[in-house]
Amino acid sequence: MTENTPRKQIAILGSTGSIGTQALEVIAAHPERYEVYALTANNRVDELIRQARTFHPEVVAIANEAHYDTLRDALSDLPIKVYTSEAAICQVVEAQPIDIVLTAIVGYAGLKPTIHAIRAGKVIALSNKETLVVAGELIQQLLHQSHATVIPVDSEHSAIFQCLVGEGNNPIEKLILTASGGALRDYSLDQLRHVTREQALRHPNWAMGNKITIDSATMINKGFEVIEAKWLFGVRPDQIEVLIHPQSIVHSMVQFADGSIKAQMGLPDMKLPIQYAFSYPERILSSLPRLDFTQHPQLTFEQPDVRRYPCLGLLYEAMRQAGNMPCVVNAANEVAVEAFLNGHLPFLSIADVIEKTMGRTAYLAHPDYDDYVATDTEARRIAQELL
């Protein structure tokens, strides 16, 4: 690192969300290495304006076109290009100067811009998990045809990625994905029936967005991560074990063919995997709080009780069926979680909505991109009707 090393140009898709704002903290801590080239958001225009005035990107874009005038007017005194629409976001990520695209958009909406970033050969700091959950096979094909590389930002997949560094083609025997068990880990099945929004959002270890915190409480999140891991690391689902680890210190593990296990650990803080995705293969000094084992003298592990986590079982079933079925589960889950967060659906009914949507959506064994779009639309419609 010298004064003349060019700074990496970063585009953050979903900059106003939890991952996006933490990524900006990482960039702010290393101004000699990273520069914000583009920021995009869906709806939170005021936060996007504030970020743009702080980080002076080349480009900002807002998906919801209703906010375009507000955004443009608020930044009219700065030399920042202002765009709107999802299509514009897909074009923004292709800009030549961009080195790294952090895909921190939540949900299905992250898929299309990620595809554009892959086609443009960028380094993808992948935080949008739906990209691989919904369209893993398609993404794999695109990656083979491009110069793009994917570095996972999820703490679990970042952990595995870190453990695999330097291991070449050494055969993986098993991946062990750890799971906190979510906000409701210690609730009885009866208590789960009457869970409120506030209870389900109280995650024991991680500060995350609302959608993913609920997905963590149902553990469908962990099922999504199993699908992601399958695509990212080229293993079979039966080589992926989920282990409840309430302390969230061991972020995940790899067991190799010789029986050796490597684990990556640390305090739960998403800024570490974000920074690693930006700095890889280097590691750079961070001021993040360090793990002190005298403060965390005990790490525990247990197998998940499948009866408490029916969504996890549904996702394994979707993985078995493959085709467009993970896409169906994702769409139904997005609809059901939104309904739960708005107080329109009891917590335990999230699994019911998913299960019924799976039964009613047309199955496709080998979907292409348009099939995914159609499946997503159909599954959302069915899930909405079920509410």
Q: Please report, as ranges, the residues that interact with its own copies according to CB under 8 A.
A: 162-163, 165-168, 170-171, 173, 176, 243, 250, 253, 255-267, 272, 275-276, 279, 281-286, 288-291, 293-294, 296-303
The CA distance from 260 to 382, in Å, is: 46
221 burial via Cβ count (<10 Å: 0-12, 13-18, 19+): buried
Closest by Cα among 1, 233, 18 to 140: 233
Contact by Cβ (8 Å): 272, 161: no
Complex with its own copies: residue 265 or 322, whichever CB lies closer: 265
Q: How far is the CB of 246 from its own copies (least distance, A)?
A: 11
Give me the phi and psi of 355, to 5 degrees please: -60, -45
Q: How far is the CB of 294 from its own copies (least distance, A)?
A: 6
Complex with its own copies: residue 293 or 369, whichever CB lies closer: 293
Residue with tokens 């959608």, as numbered in its chain: 211
Complex with its own copies: residue 164 or 348, whichever CB lies closer: 164
Helix (H) or strand (E) holding 205: none
Q: How far is the CB of 178 from its own copies (least distance, A)?
A: 10
CA geometry: angle at 218 spanning 217 and 222, to 5°? 95
Complex with its own copies: residue 30 or 380, whichever CB lies closer: 30
The CA distance from 273 to 282, in Å, is: 12
CA geometry: angle at 286 spanning 210 and 104, to 5°? 30
The CA distance from 337 to 346, in Å, is: 10
Contact by Cβ (8 Å): 91, 68: no
Q: How far is the CB of 248 from its own copies (least distance, A)?
A: 13
Complex with its own copies: residue 46 or 241, whichever CB lies closer: 241
Residue with tokens 């005038």, as numbered in its chain: 69
Complex with its own copies: residue 57 or 181, whichever CB lies closer: 181
Complex with its own copies: residue 281 or 359, whichever CB lies closer: 281
Q: How far is the CB of 269 from its own copies (least distance, A)?
A: 8
Complex with its own copies: residue 243 or 341, whichever CB lies closer: 243
Label residues 11-34 b or e (16+ Cβ within 10 Å = b). Answer: bbbbbbbbbbebbbebbebbeebb
Q: How far is the CB of 182 from its own copies (least distance, A)?
A: 19
Q: How far is the CB of 291 from its own copies (least distance, A)?
A: 6
Complex with its own copies: residue 51 or 264, whichever CB lies closer: 264
Q: How far is the CB of 285 from its own copies (least distance, A)?
A: 5
DSSP secondary structure string, 236-265?
A: -GGGEEEEE-TT--EEEEEEETTS-EEEEE
Question: Which CA distances in Å does 380 have to 2, 128, 131, 250, 256?
Answer: 51, 19, 17, 35, 40
Q: How far is the CB of 239 from its own copies (least distance, A)?
A: 13
